[in-house]
Chains A and B, each alone.
Chain A
Amino acid sequence: MAKYLLLKHYRGAPAAVNDVPMDRWTPAEISAHVQYMNDFAARLEETGEFVGSQALAPEGTFVRYDGEGRPPVTDGPFAETKDLVAGWMIIDVDSYERALELAGELSAAPGAGGKPIHEWLEVRPFLTAPPTITQ
């Protein structure tokens, strides 16, 4: 019973094995990819392990406080930022091994040529609630 974030990067992860930009895939390959992702989420809901998922737009803005009575300062997007998150899925599973197994399956989503992308996903555990008994 632990939650994990499966993090997909636009940038910042090592290169995938089948590393072809999506706009070079055929429309049918894109459809197959989307279908795979939907099926994967549906399957996780069925196993009682799905918590949520979200895709993010590639462009973001940095914002910070600029002092009392002043509007926040915005900056960016920064083209040089190394890490760019594309989206995530949150799962609730019984073990770390199960989290790895599912990330592996998600990474097998089909891409160019209908072959698995073998994309690198980052698996990050959630910090939990503190246990009552620690002594």
Chain B
Amino acid sequence: MNGPLRVDEVLLRSLTPSVLGILVRRGADFAAAEDAMQDALVEAVRVWPTAPPRDPKGWLVTVAWRRFLDATRADTARRRREDLFDDEPAPGPAPAVDDTLQLYFLCSHPSLTPSSAVALTLRAVGGLTTRQIAHAYLVPEATMAQRISRAKRTVASVRFDQPGDVATVLRVLYLVFNEGYSGDVDLAAEAIRLTRQLTAVIDHPEVAGLLALMLLHHARRAARTTPDGSLVPLAEQDRRRWDTESIAEGVEILQAALARDRLGEFQAQAAIAALHADAPTAGETDWVQIVEWYDELARLTDSPVVRLNRAVAVGQADGPRAGLAALATLDDSLPRHTAVAAYLHERDGDQATAAQLYAEAAHKAPNLAERDHLTRQAARLNARRHH
């Protein structure tokens, strides 16, 4: 993979949606076109290092279309010999909506389950191979192959030129960014690439909001964990390790989006991330403004998770007692409720309760890094109390 003759894989994959769009508009059905596209990508990786094409996109269209015809001819010959397939591609109707955008809509169609939509998006829009997607999500390749072909069958009857809902696309991209494992494929970077590509084909403040949110969180990546994988909480992160370029880009995109006065949840979340990014030290964080943004966010989403995070912010802005009062109004079965309670009790000076709650929160933690972090918090308080 590290040889000198290596295809720029990201450039190659960035051509995927438009080439696929062309095949579909020429009359190929989506599932077959997508398979042909994957074949063409594999062929490009093989051929381009020694014979780089002058027109990469044209090359892909030609090769993919040939593959599609070959596959279709084989199928057609088996099924109905009397049906002659027209070799000359029909021009197809001019697209009313951009092909790339249509692909995003199709791959996150509401008839798909979240995991199918994620897999299909990464393959058909992202141009990743089934093997790469399987590795990224720690499932066998055969299982991922089935998940993808099933997803294709599910959307087979969806018309390609139907406008979709941007919100469903954003939810899928958010999942790719936020809920990936750490495999060979950098899913966070891939989510950013796909969201950035989406901003190029649709002008929508929430798409910009999501891109800003991703960039602002991605900027903290190096500071978020120690080399052994332990979590470093926001307040303890070495802010010199934050990626200032990514922050600057995120803030600029966010400001342009907010200026359009069509607030949505991703813009509000990005605004909170931007306020954190803006503080030179944790102590200088503008918690009052952050609480205001959480109020906005609660109005927009009515999500209990938002109200839980708001309680943390209230605890910072108005003191731990106020935070605990805000927390008391929430269902204590919410994920991370106990962890937040532990933190607020510690800040309130009640170390015994905090230690007990940290241990309880560790027991309920949904992931290993958080569990270890919470166990360390409990251990830290217990060690202090017993000495």
A1 with B231: CB separation less than 8 A: no
B146 with A48: CB separation less than 8 A: yes
CB of A60 within 8 Å of the partner chain? no
Residue among B139, B218, B272 with most chain A CB within 10 A = B139
CB of A94 within 8 Å of the partner chain? yes
Contacts of B179 in A (CB 8 A): 1, 128-129, 131
CB of B124 within 8 Å of the partner chain? no
- Of B138, B182, B213, B370, which is within 8 A of A133 by CB? B213
A135 with B234: CB separation less than 8 A: yes
CB of B371 within 8 Å of the partner chain? yes
B180 with A48: CB separation less than 8 A: no
Contacts of B177 in A (CB 8 A): 132-133
A48 with B115: CB separation less than 8 A: yes
Known contacts A51-B139, A131-B178, A132-B177; decide if A92 and B146 are in contact (CB<8 Å). Answer: no
Bound CA–CA A46/B182 (angstroms): 25
Bound CA–CA A125/B368 (angstroms): 12
| B276 vs chain A, min Cβ distance (A) | 7
CB of B150 within 8 Å of the partner chain? yes
| A38 vs chain B, min Cβ distance (A) | 15
B367 with A48: CB separation less than 8 A: no
State which residues 205-222 of B face A: CB under 8 Å: 213, 217-218, 221
A132 with B150: CB separation less than 8 A: no
Chain B contact patch, size range: 35 or more
Report the interface size for chain A: residues with CB under 8 A from the other chain.
24
| B189 vs chain A, min Cβ distance (A) | 11
CB of B188 within 8 Å of the partner chain? yes
Type the 1/0 row for B171-189, where 1 means its CB is closer than 8 Å to any CB of A.
0000101111110000010
CB of A3 within 8 Å of the partner chain? yes
| B86 vs chain A, min Cβ distance (A) | 34
A48 with B366: CB separation less than 8 A: no
Contacts of B138 in A (CB 8 A): 3, 51, 92
CB of A49 within 8 Å of the partner chain? yes
Bound CA–CA A1/B368 (angstroms): 17
Question: Across the two chains, which residue of chain A brings its CB closest to B218?
Answer: A132
Residue among A46, A93, A132 with most chain B CB within 10 A = A132
Type the 1/0 row for A36-76, where 1 means its CB is closer than 8 Å to any CB of B.
00000000111111111000000000000000000000000
A45 with B371: CB separation less than 8 A: no
Contacts of A48 in B (CB 8 A): 115-116, 119, 139, 143-144, 146-148, 150
A92 with B182: CB separation less than 8 A: no
CB of A130 within 8 Å of the partner chain? yes
A129 with B182: CB separation less than 8 A: yes
B140 with A1: CB separation less than 8 A: no
Bound CA–CA A44/B371 (angstroms): 30
Type the 1/0 row for A15-50, where 1 means its CB is closer than 8 Å to any CB of B.
000000000000000000000000000001111111
B137 with A92: CB separation less than 8 A: yes
Interface residues of B (CB under 8 A from A): 113-116, 118-119, 137-140, 142-144, 146-148, 150, 175, 177-182, 188, 213, 217-218, 221, 231, 234, 269, 272-273, 276, 309, 336, 365-371
Interface residues of A (CB under 8 A from B): 1, 3, 44-52, 92-94, 125, 127-135
